[in-house]
Structures are given as structure tokens and as C-alpha cells.
């Protein structure tokens, strides 16, 4: 098996991941906990969700100390932290957290600390691989959770319920239009860009929106290169020019 040096796949050996057709019981290489999953590396290593997202609670300090109105800027700061991998369920929390923080800083009336705790709880409930197995990328769902939390939606709400679902639909539509395979960075960018526009149109809060140029292509074995709107031509090589 060809393993790309420096690429992020298996957290144990960097070998590529494989996705199974059904859940099987596996034992985490780091904590020895057993859980059912469809994902492991081609050499059989498995890392549980808790170990994979260890240290993710550090996002609270990032968000609570930020004065940025740009959710991409906030997201990038979290993506640069040690706990965050190229792919993984941590993005299901980070997207909504970045949006809630920028929304608050741009004038949105929310209790940010309380909102972030709720986002953390909800986002962690979306498993890794949801993009391929559920047909609903966790980054897109996270954007919907952001609107739900910001508006105080519940299953019995009226307008708020509708806005939350429309936000998820808008984000997933953009993610789906770009096609696969999965890239948690690309999908997170799509979700946040969709949410910036949606928030302005529906909640009247204008968050900042910077141009995105991805600098992580070298860490993604499945990078789609020029098909990605965030791919930097300066990073282009012969393997990513498709």
C-alpha cells in the first residue's frame, strides 16, 4: 500500500482509511475502549471518537476571547490547533462554534458561553463519516445547529424551525454541488460561506467574509485540486491538478 509521507489518515500509522459496509466492534489503539464503527485504517488500527477529538474543548478559549466578526478567521485558528486533524468529527463542532462567535461579535444577541456549550454537545453527537453514510455532512448540519441555537429553535418552533432546516439544506446543497470525496476543510468552508449569506438575509446580522485559500492540500490524500474553489494554484502539483 502506498502511504503518502506527512499525509493525515490513520492517527497511529498514517496509512489510508477504509470504510466498511456495516458497523463492527473495534478496540481503540489509544484507550482500549471498544465501540462499533465502520472506519479503520487499512492496517486495522482504530481510534475511538473520544480519543480522536481529545483536546477539542480548547475551542472555548478561542471563541470566548475572540472579537472577530469573521467565522472563517475563527475557524482557521481552531484548525491550526493541535487537536484538529485534516478530517474528523471535530469539524462538526467547530463550524457552528465559529459561526456563533462571529454572530455574537457582529451584534447577534446570544449568551455565547451557553451557546458554545450547547453547540459542543450537539455537534459531538454527529459521528464521523456522516457525509457518506447519512447523506448529510456534519459540517453542513453544524451550520443548521448554529441557526437553531442562535434563534432558540425547538421541534415545536415555527419560523425558527424552518430557518434551521433551510440553513442545513443550503449548506448541504453547496457541499453536494462540489462533489466528493470528503474533505472536512472544504466542507467546513462551504458551510460557513453559506451561513454568512443566510444570516445576513434572514437574521440581519452581517458577518465578515474573507477570501479563502486552502494551504492544507498536501495533507489530504483525496484533495480534488482545481475542482475545489478554495484550492490555491500556488500549491498545485502534478498529483492535484485534476
Q: Rounded CA gap, 182 and 97, in Å?
A: 21
For residues 61-66, average pLDDT: 96
Query: 60 CB contacts (<8 Å, ≥6 apart)?
Result: 113, 116, 120
**Total H helices, total E strands in the chain:** 9, 2
Q: Name the band, by pLDDT with cuts 50, 70 and 90, for residue 8.
A: low
Return the residue matching grid coordinates 480534488. Answer: 224
CB contact at 8 A, 207 and 200? yes
Global pTM value: 0.88
Q: Name the band, by pLDDT with cuts 50, 70 and 90, for residue 97.
A: very high
pLDDT, one tens digit per residue, over 167-211 is 999 999 999 999 999 999 999 999 999 999 999 999 999 999 988
Helix axes 138-151, 91-105, angle to 10 degrees: 40
Q: Rounded CA gap, 153 and 8, in Å?
A: 37
**97's grid cell:** 462554534
Amino acid at each position: 500500500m502506498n502511504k503518502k509521507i506527512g499525509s493525515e489518515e490513520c492517527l497511529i500509522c498514517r496509512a489510508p482509511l477504509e470504510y466498511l459496509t456495516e458497523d463492527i466492534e473495534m478496540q481503540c489503539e489509544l484507550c482500549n475502549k471498544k465501540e462499533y464503527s465502520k472506519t479503520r485504517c487499512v492496517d486495522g488500527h482504530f481510534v475511538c471518537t473520544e480519543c480522536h477529538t481529545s483536546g477539542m474543548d480548547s475551542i472555548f478559549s478561542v471563541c470566548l476571547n475572540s472579537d472577530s466578526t469573521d467565522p472563517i478567521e475563527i475557524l482557521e485558528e481552531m484548525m491550526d490547533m493541535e487537536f484538529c486533524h485534516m478530517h474528523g468529527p471535530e469539524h462538526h463542532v467547530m463550524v457552528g462554534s465559529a459561526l456563533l462567535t462571529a454572530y455574537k461579535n457582529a451584534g447577534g444577541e446570544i449568551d455565547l458561553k451557553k451557546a458554545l456549550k450547547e453547540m459542543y454537545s450537539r455537534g459531538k453527537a454527529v459521528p464521523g463519516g456522516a457525509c457518506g453514510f447519512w447523506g448529510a455532512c456534519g459540517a453542513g448540519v453544524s451550520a443548521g445547529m448554529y441557526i437553531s441555537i442562535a434563534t432558540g429553535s425547538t421541534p415545536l418552533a415555527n419560523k425558527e424551525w424552518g430557518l434551521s432546516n433551510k440553513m442545513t439544506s443550503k449548506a448541504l446543497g453547496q457541499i453536494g454541488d462540489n462533489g466528493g470525496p470528503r474533505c472536512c476543510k472544504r466542507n467546513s468552508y462551504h458551510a460557513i460561506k453559506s451561513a454568512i449569506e443566510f444570516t445576513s438575509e434572514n437574521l440581519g446580522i452581517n458577518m465578515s467574509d474573507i477570501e479563502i485559500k486552502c494551504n492544507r492540500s498536501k495533507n489530504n490524500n483525496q484533495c480534488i485540486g482545481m475542482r475545489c474553489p478554495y484550492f490555491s494554484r500556488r500549491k498545485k502539483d502534478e498529483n492535484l491538478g485534476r
